[in-house]
Amino acid sequence: MLKPELNTELTQVGPGTPMGELLRRYWYPVAFVRELDEWPIKKVRLLGEDLALWKRPQGGYGIMQERCPHRRASMVYGVVEAEGLRCGYHGWLFDETGQCRDQPAVVAAAEALGLDDPVDHGRAAVRAALLHDPVAAL
């Protein structure tokens, strides 16, 4: 019989666990090709993680965490574009590796503020929030 500590070490497969790190070195079948031909985005669960798998229009596949890091919206309801998967909530675009490639509102806010470097997202987002006048919206 296994000791509880060894049992935990061998059965936990989440990120950062010994077995999780070992099992992430291997390939796993996660979907049939025909599934993504019928609908280009599919939610998959692998090693305790929820992921969004999608097929690009020109072929090729991408996979990333299921929840958008911006507002935690499900990427399963995103829009597949040639460059990647765009979040349906605020429009952030992610490439096939899960890297964010476009943040339309952040760049537009930086341009509206006249910032030289629209990549400085932290400063642009704070200033963009200050532009909103709740009284003018009434």
For 73-126, the pLDDT digits (tens) are 999 999 999 999 999 998 999 998 889 999 887 766 666 666 654 444 444 333
CB 115 within 8 A of CB 105: no
Q: Distance between CA 33 and CA 18 in Å, rounded?
A: 31
- Alpha-carbon dihedral of residues 109, 114, 119, 124, nearest 10 degrees? -50
Question: What digits encode the pLDDT tens for the residues 1-59?
Answer: 889 999 999 999 988 899 989 998 888 899 999 999 999 999 999 988 999 999 999 98
Residue 8: CA atoms inside 13 Å, Cβ hemisphere, count? 4
Q: What is the pTM of this model?
A: 0.72
The distance in angstroms from the start CA to the end CA of the chain is: 68
